[in-house]
Protein backbone atom coordinates (compact mmCIF):
# COMPACT_ATOMS: atom_id res chain seq x y z
CA UNK A 1 0.00 0.00 0.00
CA UNK A 2 1.38 3.42 -1.00
CA UNK A 3 2.35 5.87 1.76
CA UNK A 4 0.25 8.98 1.14
CA UNK A 5 2.01 11.34 3.56
CA UNK A 6 5.59 12.53 4.00
CA UNK A 7 7.38 10.67 6.81
CA UNK A 8 10.86 12.13 6.40
CA UNK A 9 12.24 14.83 8.71
CA UNK A 10 11.95 18.30 7.15
CA UNK A 11 15.57 19.19 7.93
CA UNK A 12 16.74 16.11 6.06
CA UNK A 13 14.54 17.01 3.10
CA UNK A 14 15.91 20.58 3.09
CA UNK A 15 19.48 19.29 3.03
CA UNK A 16 18.59 16.84 0.26
CA UNK A 17 17.10 19.50 -2.03
CA UNK A 18 19.96 21.92 -1.22
CA UNK A 19 22.49 19.33 -2.39
CA UNK A 20 20.49 18.30 -5.47
CA UNK A 21 21.55 19.38 -8.96
CA UNK A 22 18.24 18.30 -10.49
CA UNK A 23 16.58 20.80 -12.80
CA UNK A 24 13.02 21.60 -11.71
CA UNK A 25 10.09 23.71 -12.93
CA UNK A 26 8.32 25.89 -10.34
CA UNK A 27 4.68 26.73 -11.00
CA UNK A 28 1.30 27.48 -9.47
CA UNK A 29 -2.30 26.95 -10.55
CA UNK A 30 -5.81 27.00 -9.13
CA UNK A 31 -9.24 25.86 -10.20
CA UNK A 32 -12.65 26.41 -8.62
CA UNK A 33 -14.65 23.21 -9.10
CA UNK A 34 -17.13 21.25 -7.00
CA UNK A 35 -15.46 17.97 -6.01
CA UNK A 36 -17.69 15.23 -4.60
CA UNK A 37 -15.01 13.05 -2.98
CA UNK A 38 -12.26 15.41 -1.92
CA UNK A 39 -10.23 12.85 0.04
CA UNK A 40 -10.14 10.37 -2.85
CA UNK A 41 -9.06 13.11 -5.27
CA UNK A 42 -6.38 14.27 -2.83
CA UNK A 43 -5.01 10.72 -2.49
CA UNK A 44 -4.94 10.26 -6.27
CA UNK A 45 -2.91 13.44 -6.66
CA UNK A 46 -0.47 12.60 -3.88
CA UNK A 47 0.23 9.11 -5.22
CA UNK A 48 0.75 10.29 -8.81
CA UNK A 49 2.80 13.35 -7.86
CA UNK A 50 4.99 11.42 -5.44
CA UNK A 51 5.90 9.04 -8.26
CA UNK A 52 6.70 12.02 -10.51
CA UNK A 53 8.91 13.67 -7.88
CA UNK A 54 6.64 16.68 -7.40
CA UNK A 55 7.35 18.90 -4.39
CA UNK A 56 5.33 21.77 -2.94
CA UNK A 57 2.10 22.69 -1.23
CA UNK A 58 -1.42 21.98 -2.51
CA UNK A 59 -4.79 22.56 -0.87
CA UNK A 60 -7.86 20.63 -2.02
CA UNK A 61 -11.41 21.39 -0.90
CA UNK A 62 -14.95 20.73 -2.08
CA UNK A 63 -14.72 24.10 -3.89
CA UNK A 64 -11.51 23.37 -5.87
CA UNK A 65 -7.73 23.18 -5.80
CA UNK A 66 -4.90 25.65 -5.10
CA UNK A 67 -1.34 24.47 -5.86
CA UNK A 68 2.19 25.88 -5.59
CA UNK A 69 4.65 23.17 -6.62
CA UNK A 70 7.86 22.26 -8.43
CA UNK A 71 8.28 19.40 -10.91
CA UNK A 72 11.48 17.67 -12.11
CA UNK A 73 12.19 18.97 -15.61
CA UNK A 74 12.55 15.41 -16.91
CA UNK A 75 8.98 14.68 -15.75
CA UNK A 76 7.44 17.96 -16.93
CA UNK A 77 5.59 16.48 -19.92
CA UNK A 78 4.42 13.49 -17.86
CA UNK A 79 3.14 15.85 -15.17
CA UNK A 80 1.15 17.90 -17.68
CA UNK A 81 -0.25 14.74 -19.26
CA UNK A 82 -1.41 13.53 -15.85
CA UNK A 83 -2.98 16.86 -14.92
CA UNK A 84 -4.73 17.46 -18.24
CA UNK A 85 -6.09 13.90 -18.22
CA UNK A 86 -8.67 15.26 -15.75
CA UNK A 87 -11.37 16.89 -17.94
CA UNK A 88 -11.74 19.78 -15.46
CA UNK A 89 -8.08 20.73 -15.97
CA UNK A 90 -8.03 20.57 -19.76
CA UNK A 91 -6.49 23.83 -21.01
CA UNK A 92 -5.85 25.10 -17.46
CA UNK A 93 -3.28 27.92 -17.34
CA UNK A 94 -0.15 26.98 -15.38
CA UNK A 95 1.64 30.00 -13.91
CA UNK A 96 5.34 29.29 -14.40
CA UNK A 97 7.64 31.08 -11.96
CA UNK A 98 9.27 34.28 -13.22
CA UNK A 99 12.56 33.34 -11.56
CA UNK A 100 12.69 29.56 -11.68
CA UNK A 101 14.58 28.10 -8.72
CA UNK A 102 14.95 24.32 -8.26
CA UNK A 103 15.18 24.86 -4.47
CA UNK A 104 11.73 26.49 -4.16
CA UNK A 105 10.18 23.52 -2.29
CA UNK A 106 11.65 20.62 -0.35
CA UNK A 107 8.69 18.31 0.38
CA UNK A 108 5.32 17.28 -1.04
CA UNK A 109 2.22 18.25 0.89
CA UNK A 110 -1.35 17.78 -0.39
CA UNK A 111 -3.87 18.76 2.27
CA UNK A 112 -7.66 18.66 2.45
CA UNK A 113 -9.11 21.97 3.62
CA UNK A 114 -12.58 23.43 4.10
CA UNK A 115 -11.61 26.07 1.54
CA UNK A 116 -8.71 26.47 -0.85
CA UNK A 117 -8.51 30.10 0.25
CA UNK A 118 -9.32 31.37 3.74
CA UNK A 119 -11.70 34.25 2.97
CA UNK A 120 -14.30 34.18 5.75
CA UNK A 121 -17.12 34.43 3.23
CA UNK A 122 -20.37 32.50 3.07
CA UNK A 123 -20.25 31.27 -0.52
CA UNK A 124 -23.95 30.41 -0.43
CA UNK A 125 -24.77 34.11 0.00
CA UNK A 126 -23.51 35.18 -3.44
CA UNK A 127 -22.56 33.84 -6.86
CA UNK A 128 -18.85 33.03 -6.60
CA UNK A 129 -18.69 32.38 -10.35
CA UNK A 130 -19.82 35.94 -11.16
CA UNK A 131 -16.26 37.25 -11.01
CA UNK A 132 -14.79 40.38 -12.55
CA UNK A 133 -13.74 40.73 -16.17
CA UNK A 134 -10.27 39.30 -16.79
CA UNK A 135 -7.70 41.66 -18.31
CA UNK A 136 -4.41 40.83 -19.99
CA UNK A 137 -1.35 43.00 -19.36
CA UNK A 138 -2.01 45.43 -22.21
CA UNK A 139 -5.66 45.96 -21.26
CA UNK A 140 -4.73 46.33 -17.58
CA UNK A 141 -2.15 49.01 -18.42
CA UNK A 142 -4.61 50.93 -20.58
CA UNK A 143 -7.40 50.91 -17.99
CA UNK A 144 -4.99 51.63 -15.11
CA UNK A 145 -4.11 54.96 -16.71
CA UNK A 146 -7.71 56.15 -16.89
CA UNK A 147 -8.25 58.99 -14.45
CA UNK A 148 -11.24 57.38 -12.75
CA UNK A 149 -9.79 53.86 -12.39
CA UNK A 150 -9.00 52.52 -8.91
CA UNK A 151 -6.21 49.91 -8.65
CA UNK A 152 -6.44 47.60 -5.64
CA UNK A 153 -3.74 45.27 -4.33
CA UNK A 154 -5.53 42.25 -2.85
CA UNK A 155 -2.38 40.91 -1.19
CA UNK A 156 -1.01 41.26 2.33
CA UNK A 157 0.99 44.28 3.53
CA UNK A 158 4.32 42.42 3.60
CA UNK A 159 3.80 41.44 -0.05
CA UNK A 160 3.00 44.93 -1.32
CA UNK A 161 5.78 46.47 0.78
CA UNK A 162 8.46 45.02 -1.52
CA UNK A 163 6.58 45.41 -4.82
CA UNK A 164 3.32 46.79 -6.21
CA UNK A 165 1.63 48.51 -9.14
CA UNK A 166 2.02 52.24 -9.52
CA UNK A 167 -0.83 54.10 -7.80
CA UNK A 168 -2.39 51.02 -6.18
CA UNK A 169 -4.36 51.06 -2.94
CA UNK A 170 -2.44 48.72 -0.61
CA UNK A 171 -4.43 47.65 2.47
CA UNK A 172 -2.50 47.19 5.72
CA UNK A 173 -3.61 43.60 6.33
CA UNK A 174 -1.99 40.34 7.38
CA UNK A 175 -4.21 38.04 5.34
CA UNK A 176 -6.86 37.87 2.62
CA UNK A 177 -9.71 37.38 5.09
CA UNK A 178 -8.88 40.75 6.70
CA UNK A 179 -8.61 42.55 3.39
CA UNK A 180 -12.21 42.23 2.11
CA UNK A 181 -14.01 44.51 4.64
CA UNK A 182 -11.04 46.92 4.78
CA UNK A 183 -10.87 47.28 0.99
CA UNK A 184 -14.64 47.77 0.82
CA UNK A 185 -14.34 50.61 3.31
CA UNK A 186 -11.46 52.16 1.34
CA UNK A 187 -13.59 52.01 -1.83
CA UNK A 188 -16.66 53.60 -0.27
CA UNK A 189 -18.13 56.13 -2.71
CA UNK A 190 -16.31 54.61 -5.69
CA UNK A 191 -18.99 52.06 -6.60
CA UNK A 192 -19.46 53.58 -10.07
CA UNK A 193 -15.73 53.71 -10.92
CA UNK A 194 -13.68 50.97 -12.62
CA UNK A 195 -12.01 48.82 -9.94
CA UNK A 196 -8.89 46.93 -11.07
CA UNK A 197 -7.83 44.12 -8.73
CA UNK A 198 -4.59 42.17 -8.77
CA UNK A 199 -2.79 39.54 -6.69
CA UNK A 200 0.07 37.06 -7.15
CA UNK A 201 -1.48 34.47 -9.46
CA UNK A 202 -5.16 35.38 -9.68
CA UNK A 203 -6.89 33.19 -7.09
CA UNK A 204 -7.59 35.92 -4.53
CA UNK A 205 -9.04 38.22 -7.19
CA UNK A 206 -11.26 35.42 -8.49
CA UNK A 207 -13.14 35.40 -5.19
CA UNK A 208 -12.75 39.10 -4.29
CA UNK A 209 -14.05 40.40 -7.62
CA UNK A 210 -17.20 38.23 -7.32
CA UNK A 211 -17.71 39.53 -3.77
CA UNK A 212 -17.37 43.18 -4.77
CA UNK A 213 -19.76 42.74 -7.68
CA UNK A 214 -22.20 41.25 -5.18
CA UNK A 215 -21.66 44.31 -2.97
CA UNK A 216 -22.77 46.68 -5.72
CA UNK A 217 -19.60 47.71 -7.55
CA UNK A 218 -20.50 48.19 -11.21
CA UNK A 219 -17.18 47.75 -13.06
CA UNK A 220 -14.90 45.15 -11.51
CA UNK A 221 -11.83 43.85 -13.33
CA UNK A 222 -9.08 41.43 -12.38
CA UNK A 223 -5.58 40.91 -13.74
CA UNK A 224 -5.58 37.60 -15.59
CA UNK A 225 -2.92 35.31 -14.11
CA UNK A 226 -1.92 37.94 -11.57
CA UNK A 227 1.53 39.53 -11.31
CA UNK A 228 3.21 36.35 -12.53
CA UNK A 229 1.45 36.31 -15.90
CA UNK A 230 1.60 40.12 -16.18
CA UNK A 231 5.40 40.08 -15.89
CA UNK A 232 5.62 37.36 -18.52
CA UNK A 233 3.41 39.26 -21.00
CA UNK A 234 5.24 42.55 -20.38
CA UNK A 235 8.58 40.92 -21.20
CA UNK A 236 7.41 38.90 -24.19
CA UNK A 237 5.39 41.75 -25.76
CA UNK A 238 7.65 44.68 -24.89
CA UNK A 239 4.92 46.46 -22.90
CA UNK A 240 5.34 49.20 -20.31
CA UNK A 241 5.91 47.61 -16.91
CA UNK A 242 3.75 49.38 -14.31
CA UNK A 243 4.79 47.03 -11.50
CA UNK A 244 7.82 48.09 -9.44
CA UNK A 245 9.97 45.93 -7.18
CA UNK A 246 9.60 42.27 -6.23
CA UNK A 247 6.73 39.82 -6.34
CA UNK A 248 6.48 38.05 -2.96
CA UNK A 249 5.96 34.27 -3.22
CA UNK A 250 5.08 31.71 -0.55
CA UNK A 251 7.93 29.26 -0.94
CA UNK A 252 11.61 29.01 -0.06
CA UNK A 253 12.48 31.82 -2.52
CA UNK A 254 10.17 34.37 -0.79
CA UNK A 255 10.28 36.71 -3.82
CA UNK A 256 10.84 37.06 -7.57
CA UNK A 257 12.45 40.19 -8.96
CA UNK A 258 10.22 42.03 -11.45
CA UNK A 259 12.26 45.24 -11.70
CA UNK A 260 15.57 46.38 -10.22
CA UNK A 261 13.80 48.96 -8.02
CA UNK A 262 14.25 48.50 -4.26
CA UNK A 263 11.25 50.23 -2.71
CA UNK A 264 11.43 48.95 0.89
CA UNK A 265 13.87 49.11 3.79
CA UNK A 266 15.59 46.91 6.34
CA UNK A 267 13.37 46.65 9.40
CA UNK A 268 16.42 46.83 11.66
CA UNK A 269 18.65 49.63 10.37
CA UNK A 270 16.53 51.35 7.70
CA UNK A 271 18.90 50.73 4.78
CA UNK A 272 17.29 50.17 1.34
CA UNK A 273 16.48 46.46 1.19
CA UNK A 274 13.75 44.13 -0.08
CA UNK A 275 14.93 40.72 1.16
CA UNK A 276 12.52 38.93 3.48
CA UNK A 277 13.77 36.33 5.93
CA UNK A 278 12.47 34.38 8.90
CA UNK A 279 14.11 34.91 12.28
CA UNK A 280 16.60 32.07 12.84
CA UNK A 281 15.26 31.57 16.36
CA UNK A 282 12.66 28.87 15.62
CA UNK A 283 10.69 29.94 18.69
CA UNK A 284 10.16 33.32 17.01
CA UNK A 285 10.38 32.68 13.25
CA UNK A 286 9.21 36.24 12.53
CA UNK A 287 9.03 37.16 8.84
CA UNK A 288 10.75 40.53 8.30
CA UNK A 289 13.08 42.43 5.96
CA UNK A 290 16.78 42.24 6.82
CA UNK A 291 19.81 43.65 4.99
CA UNK A 292 23.11 41.69 4.70
CA UNK A 293 24.80 43.91 7.32
CA UNK A 294 22.08 43.27 9.92
CA UNK A 295 21.94 39.58 8.99
CA UNK A 296 25.60 39.36 9.96
CA UNK A 297 25.20 41.52 13.08
CA UNK A 298 22.20 39.60 14.42
CA UNK A 299 23.14 36.17 12.95
CA UNK A 300 19.93 36.05 10.92
CA UNK A 301 17.72 36.94 13.89
CA UNK A 302 15.29 39.81 14.46
CA UNK A 303 16.78 40.90 17.81
CA UNK A 304 19.66 40.44 20.25
CA UNK A 305 17.51 38.23 22.48
CA UNK A 306 16.63 35.96 19.56
CA UNK A 307 20.30 35.87 18.51
CA UNK A 308 21.24 34.66 21.99
CA UNK A 309 18.57 31.95 21.92
CA UNK A 310 19.57 30.78 18.42
CA UNK A 311 23.17 30.39 19.65
CA UNK A 312 22.12 27.90 22.35
CA UNK A 313 22.42 24.14 21.79
CA UNK A 314 19.44 22.74 19.90
CA UNK A 315 18.27 20.75 22.94
CA UNK A 316 18.05 23.94 25.02
CA UNK A 317 16.19 25.74 22.22
CA UNK A 318 13.67 22.90 22.01
CA UNK A 319 13.16 23.05 25.79
CA UNK A 320 12.38 26.78 25.53
CA UNK A 321 9.86 26.12 22.74
CA UNK A 322 8.16 23.19 24.47
CA UNK A 323 4.48 23.75 25.11
CA UNK A 324 4.33 26.97 23.12
CA UNK A 325 2.03 27.11 20.11
CA UNK A 326 3.83 28.11 16.91
CA UNK A 327 2.03 30.40 14.50
CA UNK A 328 2.98 32.33 11.40
CA UNK A 329 4.24 35.73 12.54
CA UNK A 330 4.95 38.64 10.24
CA UNK A 331 6.35 42.06 11.03
CA UNK A 332 3.76 44.80 11.08
CA UNK A 333 4.06 48.32 12.35
CA UNK A 334 3.22 48.65 16.02
CA UNK A 335 3.67 44.94 16.70
CA UNK A 336 7.42 44.70 17.22
CA UNK A 337 8.97 47.63 19.05
CA UNK A 338 12.51 46.49 18.23
CA UNK A 339 11.89 46.77 14.46
CA UNK A 340 11.17 49.77 12.26
CA UNK A 341 7.87 50.46 10.53
CA UNK A 342 8.19 51.16 6.77
CA UNK A 343 7.11 54.81 7.05
CA UNK A 344 9.75 55.48 9.70
CA UNK A 345 12.65 54.91 7.32
Tell me the pLDDT of the chain (345 aa) as tens digits: 456 777 667 778 778 888 888 999 999 999 999 899 999 999 999 999 999 999 999 999 999 999 999 999 999 999 999 999 999 999 899 999 988 788 899 999 999 999 999 888 888 888 888 999 999 999 999 999 999 999 999 999 999 999 999 999 999 999 999 999 999 999 999 999 999 999 999 999 999 999 999 999 999 999 999 999 999 999 999 999 999 999 999 888 899 999 999 999 999 999 999 999 999 998 998 999 999 999 999 999 999 999 999 999 999 998 988 876 655 566 554 456 677 766 543
Give residue 334's pLDDT. Answer: 40
Give residue 142's pLDDT. Answer: 97
Rounded distance between C-alpha atoms, residue 61 and residue 32, angstroms: 9
Considering only the top CATH level, what class is 20-112? alpha beta
What are the counts of helices (DSSP H) followed by strands (DSSP E) for the chain?
A: 11, 14
Give residue 333's pLDDT. Answer: 46
State the helix-helix crossing angle for 38-52 and 76-84, rounded to 10 degrees. 160
Within the chain, which residue ranges are assigned CATH 3.40.250.10?
123-237
Q: Catalogue the active-site residues.
A: 199
How many residues are listed for the chain in this entry? 345
Give residue 329's pLDDT. Answer: 61
**Which pTM value belongs to this model?**
0.87
Contact 100, 25 (CB under 8 A): yes
Give residue 330's pLDDT. Answer: 63
Give residue 345's pLDDT. Answer: 38
Within the chain, which residue ranges are assigned CATH 3.30.70.100?
20-112
Q: Give, in degrees to the nearest 5, the angle at Cα 75 between 73 and 78.
A: 135
Phi and psi of 64, rounded to 5°?
150, -155
Helix (H, G, I), strand (E, B) or coil at 93: coil
Give residue 111's pLDDT. Answer: 95
| Nearest one of 147, 176, 148, 184 to 160, comparing CA atoms | 176
Contact 138, 232 (CB under 8 A): no
Rounded distance between C-alpha atoms, residue 298 and residue 303, angstroms: 7
> Please, where are the H alpha helices in the chain?
10-19, 38-52, 76-84, 137-144, 157-160, 176-186, 203-214, 226-237, 292-297, 304-310, 314-321
For domain 123-237, the question of CATH label 3.40.50.2020 is answered with: no
Rounded distance between C-alpha atoms, residue 290 and residue 271, angstroms: 9
> Please, where are the H alpha helices in 29-175?
38-52, 76-84, 137-144, 157-160
Amino acid sequence: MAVLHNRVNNDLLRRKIAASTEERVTLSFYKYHQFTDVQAFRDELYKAWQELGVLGRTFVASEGINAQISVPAVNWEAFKAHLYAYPIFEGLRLNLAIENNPKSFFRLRVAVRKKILSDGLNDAAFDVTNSGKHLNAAAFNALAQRGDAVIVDMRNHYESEVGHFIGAIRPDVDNFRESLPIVENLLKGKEEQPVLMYCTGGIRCEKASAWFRHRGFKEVYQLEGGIIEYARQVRSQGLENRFVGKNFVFDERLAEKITEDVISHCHQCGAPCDSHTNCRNQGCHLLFIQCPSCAEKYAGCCSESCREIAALPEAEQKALRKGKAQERKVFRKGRASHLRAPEQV
